[in-house]
């Protein structure tokens, strides 16, 4: 099972750049970039922070891809 996300789409719809999202969630822009392109999974803490900052549920941002 892989974890996928639509973070980049959400971020762009809200006119946020990676640095703004990183600042708002206590991460760095490289982390945001890696999560968006799928080379890194968000930790539970980062996923929760992103959901809270974006006022969405974690499931609205991250999905488990079934085989």
Domain boundaries, the chain: 2-65
Q: What is the pTM assigned to this prediction? A: 0.91
Query: What CATH number does the domain located at 2-65 have?
Result: 1.10.260.40
Three-state secondary-structure class, residue 65: strand
Could you please report the per-residue DSSP string of 7-58? HHHHHHHTT--HHHHHHHHTS-HHHHHHHHHTSSPPPHHHHHHHHHHHTS-H
Q: Tell me the per-residue pLDDT of 24-46, one tens digit each, with 9 for 90 and over.
A: 999 999 999 999 999 999 999 99
Q: What is the pLDDT of residues 44-64, one digit of tens each?
A: 999 999 999 999 999 999 999
């Amino acid at each position: 099972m892989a974890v996928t996300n639509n973070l980049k789409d959400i971020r762009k719809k809200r006119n946020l750049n990676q640095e703004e999202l990183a600042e708002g969630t206590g991460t760095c822009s490289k982390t945001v970039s890696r999560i968006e392109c799928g080379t890194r999974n968000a930790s539970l803490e980062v996923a929760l922070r992103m959901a809270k900052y974006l006022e969405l549920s974690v499931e609205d941002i991250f999905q488990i891809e079934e085989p």
